[in-house]
Structure 1
């Protein structure tokens, strides 16, 4: 996958709560491997997150907020991907910031 140098993951694993990177890789697995639409992939990702948060007995955000955040993460990636051929300092800084936020 462009920018991350990682393959999409079929599941969110680990003893900790998932990072943004894990959430994004799970979303991309749903979207690219299962060929789901963006809304269906967002829904599958939000259901997975709610299940993980439920196991940890954490209060969760509303479904609308979870889906909005996952979709925003994907849209940020799409915007960066659109400018992937740019080699300006600003474009590279945006990529580094996005990777660092994951």
Structure 2
């Protein structure tokens, strides 16, 4: 898998909008370090993304679409 050797990240930082990788590493930090459930980790990641997009004054997807995309990343990661 593409992220097996990377450590989860406590924040999504950078001068650019976050990549899929950075979003997923933040999700994993919420899930493994804070021991949040998958839905709670998805919520925390979604809120963080909306805050970043808001600062950039970008229109965002609906919350349901953001959460769906994050869940799909997690499913991709856990797929055998």
Deviations 1:4-31 (A, max 9, x none): 4110000000000000000000000000
Unaligned runs of 5+ in 2: none
- Output the TM-score relative to the length of structure 2: 0.92
TM-score normalised per structure 1? 0.72
Larger Rg: 1
Distance 1:69 1:51, change over 3 A: same
* RMSD of aligned Cα (Å): 1.5
Q: Determine the structure 2 residue equivalent to 1:9.
A: 9
In the TM superposition, structure 1's runs of 4+ consecutive aligned residues that sit over 3 Å from their partners are 1-4
- Tell me, in whole angstroms, the C-alpha distance in 2 between the residues paired with 1:40 and 1:49: 14
Aligned length: 77
Unmatched 5+ stretches in structure 1: 78-102
